[in-house]
Amino acid sequence: ETTSGGDAVRDGLRRALESVEGAEEELGRLDAVAGDGDHGSGMVRGFRRAVEATEGYGGTAGAVLVRAGAAFSDAAGGASGALYGSAITAFGQGLDANGTDAPGVHRALEDALKAVRSLGGAEVGDKTLVDTLAPFVGAFGESAGSGVPAREAWQSALAAAEAGAASTEDMISARGRAAKLGERSRGSRDPGATSMLYVLRAAGEAIPQ
Ligand code: ADP
Ligand code: MG
Ligand code: MG
């Protein structure tokens, strides 16, 4: 594993930052339906700090992500700060342990999902970012298992992430702040499921051919 993997990760972090900056208002609006309205600002703070903390840092892809995850948690705060931060860190540790070919990326994605689940306890159907991430990881694994390279596997798994994010619209929130308002959360997408889709889309653009 070379530092070129680190460059790709830095590129992905910058793309994720641009993406959540463009969606900051939308994510805030979604979070205001049954939460406290800060999801857009938290995501922007998190990725800004993650980009700053890894600029000019010459580590492997995994090492850059581990550093980015810690910076993200510190800056973003809130439930999603801790969840995204631990997912980013676990993804980095997974890449360092398993490599960056498609099967290695799949194992690292599974580690990220496991980190989110053990920290937050959410399952598919609870109206959280897990509703986007879990089907994405599953779809990525199917492509990776049949020999598709990481970049293409990531692109095709985005369809499952989109369907997962859309599925949250009809759900009632069962986790986090929005769970207190239950029924009021039905009828609009979960903010974290929405930001996860945008982040996965942006990150995919940075995977080398
Ligand atoms: P906070 O609720 O602390 O203000 P954010 O608004 O930034 O945090 O993030 C809210 C998002 O975090 C939700 O839309 C949901 O996707 C995600 N979330 C909250 N709690 C959990 C949990 N226990 N497991 C998984 N995701 C969660
Ligand atoms: Mg919030
Ligand atoms: Mg908050």
Does residue 209 sit within a domain?
A: no
Ligand 1 pocket check: which of 84, 113, 124, 175 to mutate, most ligand atoms within 8 Å of Cβ? 175
Residue 2 reports pLDDT greater than 70: no
Distance 94 CA to ligand 3 centre (A): 29
Distance 58 CA to ligand 3 centre (A): 33
Does residue 130 sit within a domain?
A: yes
| Domain encompassing residue 138 | 3-204
Q: What is the pLDDT of residues 184-195, one digit of tens each?
A: 889 999 999 999
Distance 87 CA to ligand 2 centre (A): 18
Tell me, what's the pLDDT at 3?
56
- Atom 21, ligand 1: residue with shortest CA distance: 176
Does residue 86 sit within a domain?
A: yes
Dig out the tokens for 148 from the structure.
């598709």
- Rounded to two decimals, the pTM is 0.97
Does residue 103 sit within a domain?
A: yes
Q: What is the pLDDT of residues 51-70, one digit of tens each?
A: 999 999 989 999 999 999 99
190 lines ligand 1 (CB under 6 A): yes
Nearest listed ligand to the Cα of residue 192 = 1
Residue 130: CA count within 13 A, CB half-sphere: 23
Distance 58 CA to ligand 2 centre (A): 34
Does residue 42 sit within a domain?
A: yes
In which band, very low, low, confident or very high, does the pLDDT at 146 lie, cut at 50, 70 and 90?
A: very high
Does residue 70 sit within a domain?
A: yes
Does residue 72 sit within a domain?
A: yes
CATH number for the domain harbouring residue 120: 1.25.40.340
Number of domains in the chain: 1
In which band, very low, low, confident or very high, does the pLDDT at 1 lie, cut at 50, 70 and 90?
A: very low
The torsion region of residue 147 among left (phi > 0), alpha (psi -120 to 50) and beta comes to: left
Q: What is the pLDDT of residues 149-199, one digit of tens each?
A: 999 999 999 999 999 999 999 999 999 888 888 788 899 999 999 999 999
Does residue 183 sit within a domain?
A: yes
CA distances from 102 to 143, 152, 154, 195, 204 (A): 9, 9, 9, 24, 13
